Amino acid sequence: MRSLIGRLVPAIFRHLEGYAEIAGEDAREATAFVARRLLALLVAGACAFVALLMACAWLLVLAWDTPWRAWTAAGLALVFAVATAALAWPAFRRPEARPALFFHRIRSELSRDRELIERALDGQDKGRDNGEQRAD
């Protein structure tokens, strides 16, 4: 038993080191993906905000010397309220089941290891049943 454990410990440590390496690669990939998306989102958000401010100012300038000045401001406020509700709605909904975006390699390695361990344990149980009688 001691010799079996002595041979398994280095193999287990090498396996854990491989998992750490794969997890590090997945983490770097996820970080780069999130950073690119966040930067693009921030730039697009800033541009959209400036464009929206300019459109609102243009509408108010057009309606300034008319009796529709107050209605234009109220309409803009209503449009912003509706847009806020429409954009916030997905954040409050329950997320749908979708494939995992991050750490797909580590998940696949874990599932392969789980299958190998299950097969190894099934093989040991079969050997006990065929060759040895249990005293249960």
In a domain, 1, yes or no: yes
Judge if pTM exceeds 0.85.
no
Same domain, 117 and 63: no
Q: Whole-angstrom Cα distance, residue 33 to residue 13?
A: 30
Four-CA torsion 38, 44, 45, 51, nearest 10 degrees:
170
Per residue in 39-95, pLDDT tens? 999 999 999 999 999 999 999 999 999 999 999 999 999 999 999 899 888 878 877
Phi, psi of 22 (to 5 degrees): -65, -40
For the chain, what is the domain count? Answer: 2
Q: Is the pLDDT of residue 38 over 80?
A: yes
pLDDT value of position 1: 61
- Within 10 Å of residue 25's Cβ, how many Cβ atoms? 13
Triad 44, 64, 54: Cα angle to 5°: 10
pLDDT band at 19 (very low <50, low <70, confident <90, very high): confident
In a domain, 136, yes or no: no
Same domain, 75 and 32: yes
Same domain, 10 and 77: yes
Average pLDDT, the chain: 83
In a domain, 104, yes or no: yes
Domain that holds residue 120: 99-131
